[in-house]
Amino acid sequence: MSTTSNIRIVTDSACDISPEEARTLDIDVLPLKTVFTDGEYRDGIDLSAQAFFDKLIETNEMPSTCQVSPFAFDEAFRSALANDQVVVCVSLGNKLSGTIQSAFIARQGLSSEEQQRIHIVDTENVTIGEQLLVRLAVQLRDAGRTAEEIVAEVERQRKNVRVVGLLDTLEYLKKGGRISSSAALVGGLLSIKPVICVEDGEVKVIGKARGSKNGQNQLVEAVHRYGGVDTSMPFRLAYSGDGDRLLKKYWADNGHLYEGWTGEPPVTSIGAVIGTHVGPGAIAVSFFSKN
């Protein structure tokens, strides 16, 4: 889709919007990098989501991730300015990555007049939570709202975005240093599935379920606890690696929670940025809460 707006929306690949979707939405998605021992891979460009999980499993290696560089933001900002556009940069949460700091550094390198045309928003979120706010920004842009109005609305709505996920294993939380090896071992023996959320800009473990069915029940409980899904706003489901079977089961059992929605749900494949920490087989839901 091509727009006639003078607003350019820039984001990062942690939102898990694919290059194909980015072209449709007419936005710039700047890739973070995933680092394995054999080299660096640009998220979504050198390595698709599925290819990343295949590599993660095959190598049994815990990769690291690198934030988007100031240079990449500088290029994106200057390109927009050269086309007489105003930038709204919708970023991965500050507590989760230094990516947004790279955006600020890039803006500081511009003239004072140019800086006034660059707006940077912290989503305080990641993956499909961040994505919902990017999509909201796109909707507002296409409705003819100004950059200042878009920023104000995204910042107002970010406190209403909920992300809840069910992991298949504790292994990757252990590798990332978030839990101990002994806790991971016990969890594996008991078939414990961690339930996580994004809260106050950070990923937190909010529950531990015995088995997938119990885990899905905890997801549903979390949706209710957050006040239910506002289907007048964007919502999203996601899976990592081979987790789409479990996601389809979740939707078949709980599609009624998304009142008024007909047809297939909007689904995203989780990429390398958060996939490094959650591993394959995870599912997640993100939505704007009613309350």
Mean pLDDT of 34-44: 93
* The predicted structure's pLDDT at residue 74: 98
Burial class (CB in 10 A: 0-12, 13-18, 19+), 181: exposed
Mean pLDDT of 129-153: 97
Q: Which of 9, 41, 6 is nearest to 24 (CA)?
A: 9
Mean pLDDT of 164-177: 75
* The predicted structure's pLDDT at residue 290: 85
* The predicted structure's pLDDT at residue 172: 76
| 25 within 8 A of 17, measured Cβ to Cβ | yes
- Structure-block tokens of residue 114: 């140019």
Hey, how many other C-beta atoms are within 10 angstroms of the C-beta on 185?
Answer: 13
* The predicted structure's pLDDT at residue 161: 96
Q: pLDDT digit string (tens) for 2-32?
A: 456 899 999 999 999 999 999 999 999 999 9
- Judged against a pLDDT cut of 60, whether residue 166 lies above it is answered with yes
* Higher per-residue confidence, 201 vs 171: 201
| Cα angle, residue 210 at apex, residues 205 and 214 outer, rounded to 5° | 90
Name the β-bridge partners of 238: 268, 284
In this structure, of 119-123, 152-156, 173-177, 261-265, the range with the lowest mean pLDDT score is 173-177
Mean pLDDT of 42-62: 89
Q: pLDDT digit string (tens) for 75-111?
A: 999 999 999 999 999 999 999 899 999 999 999 999 9
Give the full edge-to-edge strand order of the sheet including 33-36. Answer: 39-42, 33-36, 64-66
| 86 within 8 A of 7, measured Cβ to Cβ | yes
What is the spatial distance between Cα 118 and Cα 112, in angstroms, rounded to a whole number? 10
What is the spatial distance between Cα 29 and Cα 182, in angstroms, rounded to a whole number? 39
Q: pLDDT digit string (tens) for 188-241?
A: 444 678 888 898 888 888 888 887 788 889 889 999 999 999 999 999 999 999
User: 137-141, long-range: CB within 8 Å, 24+ apart, which pairs?
Assistant: 137/9, 137/88, 137/90, 138/9, 138/25, 138/26, 138/27, 139/234, 141/3, 141/5, 141/7, 141/9, 141/88
* The predicted structure's pLDDT at residue 278: 86
Q: pLDDT digit string (tens) for 255-288?
A: 999 988 988 999 999 999 889 888 899 999 999 9
* The predicted structure's pLDDT at residue 175: 64
What is the spatial distance between Cα 213 and Cα 211, in angstroms, rounded to a whole number? 6
| Cα angle, residue 160 at apex, residues 154 and 162 outer, rounded to 5° | 115
* The predicted structure's pLDDT at residue 168: 86
Among 2-6, 113-117, 174-178, 199-203, the range with the most confident prediction by mean pLDDT is 113-117
* The predicted structure's pLDDT at residue 210: 81
Would you place residue 177 in the very low, low, confident or very high pLDDT band (cuts 50, 70, 90)?
Answer: low
Is the pTM higher than 0.75? The answer reads yes
What is the spatial distance between Cα 238 and Cα 36, in angstroms, rounded to a whole number? 24
Would you place residue 37 in the very low, low, confident or very high pLDDT band (cuts 50, 70, 90)?
Answer: very high
- Judged against a pLDDT cut of 80, whether residue 178 lies above it is answered with no
